[in-house]
Structure 1
């Protein structure tokens, strides 16, 4: 069977989607699904990571159809699938990603006249406007940095790495990918070129404050780094000495430093350093757009969550009620 022809020759009339859905069936054999998915991803203008996410998500959707022997899914099927994901204990972000993939897939099938868009009116999961991790106050951040013993090579590395994350808002994967040669001059400023989330190149840059640059260059000097292509931060363990660090090792180092400073909370992780940079940026006068550029958020709405939470914490209404009741 020519799988490509099988898919191409499905030409339903879409004037009445509800009628069409009763006369069409999606190919559920693996070869047909693979061909359909390959055709689908060709039209997605996205990074390999995004395409991989779609692949994983859609695999779950077709698995659900097979397990329930559904060959003619309808809008109710999508609702039931969403409920099944929730019942299975999937995180709200996971449910959202799975449903978004289904919505994009059926948007494509309708455009190609392969199958009606049965997911058009299905809403994605509503996510909380709060982040899952906490941030450090400026006082806590100073305490954390002060606990690091900077007399050793490891201490100099940890200090430089942590002050960079707290100040410049880098993700752990961005720290892992950074090389010495990524520190460059732009105008009258020192910057670090960053390979951001979902990017294939180091096409973002973040200004490096003088204190951060001094800490990083002190570490590199003691490390005796003379190869600019080397990782910016390297392992000091015997198993991977001078090798590139992993996101797991960085998360472990940051967590250990937090605990040493007396900040042992499951809501405080390496990603909290990024939240700290965002929050302290806004608290100290940066505009939401400036903070968006610092964190390299694609959408300003993501940055505005920080501003929303700061405004909510400053709301004096509860204090007014308190004075009315107890003054």
Structure 2
């Protein structure tokens, strides 16, 4: 990871020159720091257009709203545009003469784009494949994460933030406290089924480290860092590819959508599914119900049958 990024000093100058409300300036600073940290964590000193696109796509994976992503991309474009215009005055590096963000769209993909879920057969095939790899620590860890995400609908960021102490019991039910999207503390919880809890406990039992996080990347040396969202996505994406359930519209985040879909298909109410996924607005949960209703709708079949039936009668 890069310790210092050239955009950090540029950001300080940019923020000083913003003639906006205090809250807006603060938002700009926080969002641009988030972007710069992303570049630093991936050792990207000078971002290319493709790097910004990948960053935008990573926000979709974190289930950020279209509004948030659009806002972030507008701020990034404004930042790079300002750098290009003021490069000579502030003696910024020559590489910033070209604006790599120009023309990039924030909400190019529709919000429903990645709402596709795995079928029951695909989910079961993925589970079986992952289970066959539990002979290693990485395999066992990935199996535990897969089961946790499929049964609770946790986001990758929520899995990465989970700590050992977040495992608890409420009224004899196993639960995991969750640090939700945009939250600073673990203020919500999800119930964990016994099969999932058993796999997590087996994984923790075999670990010899004292790391406070529930899942980690390196099991060979002592570390205080949690597993990263990139590692989770990479590990599970490899499983999905091997199980042949991956496609442009099926990503690791589809595990969350699969959980929601299975909840509704097995008789769960909209309210119960909303609580499971911790949606602030039930309108978000309704997306899954509408999708299922459209799949079950036989209107197209009825029209097709009627048309072809009429054609057959005419030919007779």
Work out the CA distance in 2 between the residues paired with 1:261 and 1:269.
13
Work out the CA distance in 1 between the residues paired with 2:134 and 2:179.
28
Q: 2:197 aligns with which of 200, 206, 213?
A: 213
**Residues 49 and 173 from structure 1, CA distance in 2 versus in 1: closer, same or farther, beyond 3 angstroms?**
farther
Normalization by structure 2: what TM-score?
0.66
Q: 2:267 aligns with which of 277, 280, 285?
A: 285
Q: 2:105 aligns with which of 62, 65, 90?
A: 90
Partner of 2:160: 176
**Residues 312 and 240 from structure 1, CA distance in 2 versus in 1: closer, same or farther, beyond 3 angstroms?**
farther
**Residues 67 and 194 from structure 1, CA distance in 2 versus in 1: closer, same or farther, beyond 3 angstroms?**
same
Work out the CA distance in 1 between the residues paired with 2:245 and 2:76.
40
Quote the offset at 1:163 in angstroms: 0.5
Partner of 2:175: 191
Higher normalized helix content (fraction of residues): 2
1:229-248 aligned at under 5 Å gives the runs 230-236=212-218, 243-248=225-230
Partner of 1:105: none
**Residues 260 and 56 from structure 1, CA distance in 2 versus in 1: closer, same or farther, beyond 3 angstroms?**
closer
Asked whether the 8 Å contact 2:161–2:213 carries over to 1, the reply is yes
Q: Does 1:297 align with 2:279?
A: yes
Paired positions, count: 246
**Residues 130 and 219 from structure 1, CA distance in 2 versus in 1: closer, same or farther, beyond 3 angstroms?**
same
Asked whether the 8 Å contact 1:236–1:242 carries over to 2, the reply is no
**Residues 193 and 39 from structure 1, CA distance in 2 versus in 1: closer, same or farther, beyond 3 angstroms?**
closer
Partner of 1:252: 234
Quote the offset at 1:268 in angstroms: 2.1
**Residues 250 and 39 from structure 1, CA distance in 2 versus in 1: closer, same or farther, beyond 3 angstroms?**
closer
Asked whether the 8 Å contact 1:129–1:305 carries over to 2, the reply is no
Quote the offset at 1:209 in angstroms: 1.3
Quote the offset at 1:34 in angstroms: 3.3
**Residues 325 and 182 from structure 1, CA distance in 2 versus in 1: closer, same or farther, beyond 3 angstroms?**
same
Q: Does 1:309 align with 2:291?
A: yes
Partner of 1:265: 247
Asked whether the 8 Å contact 1:292–1:303 carries over to 2, the reply is yes
Q: Does 1:159 align with 2:174?
A: no
- Which structure 2 residue ranges, 5 or more long, are not aligned? 1-12, 35-67, 86-101, 310-316
Asked whether the 8 Å contact 1:174–1:195 carries over to 2, the reply is yes
Work out the CA distance in 2 between the residues paired with 1:154 and 1:39.
43
Residue by residue, what CA displacement relative to the aligned partner does 1:185-244 show, whole Å, maximum 9, x if unpaired? 11221110111110011111111111111111111122246x4x6211122476887852
Question: Quick check: which has more Rg, 1 or 2?
Answer: 1
Asked whether the 8 Å contact 2:270–2:286 carries over to 1, the reply is yes
Work out the CA distance in 2 between the residues paired with 1:307 and 1:271.
18
Residue by residue, what CA displacement relative to the aligned partner does 1:102-141 show, whole Å, maximum 9, x if unpaired? xxxxxxxxxxxxxxxxxxxxxxxxx846232521111111
Question: Equivalent residue of 1:131, what SS?
Answer: helix
Partner of 2:47: none
Asked whether the 8 Å contact 1:183–1:192 carries over to 2, the reply is yes
Residue by residue, what CA displacement relative to the aligned partner does 1:127-158 show, whole Å, maximum 9, x if unpaired? 84623252111111110010122222222111
Q: Does 1:146 align with 2:125?
A: no
Partner of 1:75: none
- Which structure 1 residue ranges, 5 or more long, are not aligned? 1-28, 69-86, 94-126
Normalization by structure 1: what TM-score?
0.64
Considering only aligned residues, what root-mean-square deviation do their CA atoms show, in Å? 3.6
Work out the CA distance in 1 between the residues paired with 2:215 and 2:164.
8
